[in-house]
Amino acid sequence: MSLQEVLERLAIHLPDDMMEALHVHSKEREGRNVQLQLMNEQELAEGIKWMGQIEVFKHIVPLWTDDHSNYVGIYVEGPLAYKLCYISHEETDLSPAYRSAFSLIAELEQNPALEWEQLRKDYPSGEDISTEQLAEDIRCMNELRALLEKDSPVDDDVRCQHLYSLMAITPTCELDSLLPYLDDEDMYVQERACVLLGHHGYEPATELLKEVVKHGSPNGKLAARKALSMIRSKQMAKH
């Protein structure tokens, strides 16, 4: 049974050009020493089955594995449809890392032996994204916000993963929208807001980050210190 047949049997649809790209990618990687390998039909069917039983995974289909119980999955429904995330066996973070399967395939073709952590990701994005990509990211942001408001109150784990995704795809011109999450009651959300604002070197967050250092959650305090250090480093690099 082919990848396409497994997906069709489970009523999961991927665009035809994406299916063709995955088919070619699979053939090219057969027998090669690679860190990420497309799953075979049995692995795929089993992965879809167990993930479908867990709320935070229900819109994700695993496609690649590193044979260490880590996966790369594709969103097949919702605001993040066709974006890719990493499914770690250690810590759950389902925020998008790639805009599409095409993007990851291109990166893997250039760097077949690299592990996931070493690959260049699409998200968080920099200032060099196209007008079309910016519009797409803002659309996803708005749809995720609407989803959170519509389903409120939502399961804490689901809310956390939605916000992880929302923050990951936030473009640099919209970073101000992340500032309220520095005061979020969920310490993991607060921590992630600190991490991303530090990653972007977002100077307007400096005073709020200092407040998190003083009064935040244990996770937030540590992340805020690191974020302030990153912001200072980026400031120094400019001069």
Nearest Cα to 103, choosing from 88, 84, 116? 84
Summarised one tens digit per residue, pLDDT across range 27-55 is 877 766 678 888 888 888 888 888 888 88
DSSP string, the chain: --HHHHHHHTT----HHHHHHHHHHHHHHTTS--SSEE--HHHHHHHHHHHTTSGGGTTEEEEEE-SSS-EEEEE-SSTTTT-EEEE-SSS----EEESSHHHHHHHHHH-TT--GGGSPPSSS--TT--HHHHHHHHHHHHHHHHHHHHT-S--HHHHHHHHHHHHHH--GGGGGGGGGGGG-SSHHHHHHHHHHHHHTT-GGGHHHHHHHHHHS-HHHHHHHHHHHHHHHHHHHHH-
β-strand 96-98 against 60-65: which pairing, if any?
unpaired
Whether 80 and 72 have beta carbons less than 8 Å apart is answered as no
Structural domains in the chain, sorted by start = 3-118 (no CATH), 131-238 (1.25.10)
CA dihedral 195→200→73→190, nearest 10 degrees, is 30
- Let me know: does 140 contact 123? Beta carbons within 8 Å: no
* 90, 97 contact by CB (below 8 A): no
Q: Are 211 and 237 in contact (CB under 8 A)?
A: no
Question: Quick one: tokens of 27?
Answer: 């053939």
Strand order in the sheet with 60-65: 37-38, 60-65, 71-75, 84-87, 96-98
Residue 164 confidence (pLDDT) above 60: yes
State yes or no: pLDDT of 1 exceeds 60.
Answer: no
Q: Could you give phi then psi for residue 190, rounded to 5 degrees?
A: -60, -45
- Could you tell me the two tokens for 190? 């607060």
Q: Which residue type does 104 have?
A: L
- For residue 4, pLDDT over 80 is answered with no
* Res. 152 pLDDT band, cuts 50 70 90: low
The reported pLDDT for the residue numbered 3 is 75
pLDDT of residue 239: 67
pLDDT digits (tens, 9 = 90+) for 168-194: 999 999 999 999 999 999 999 999 999
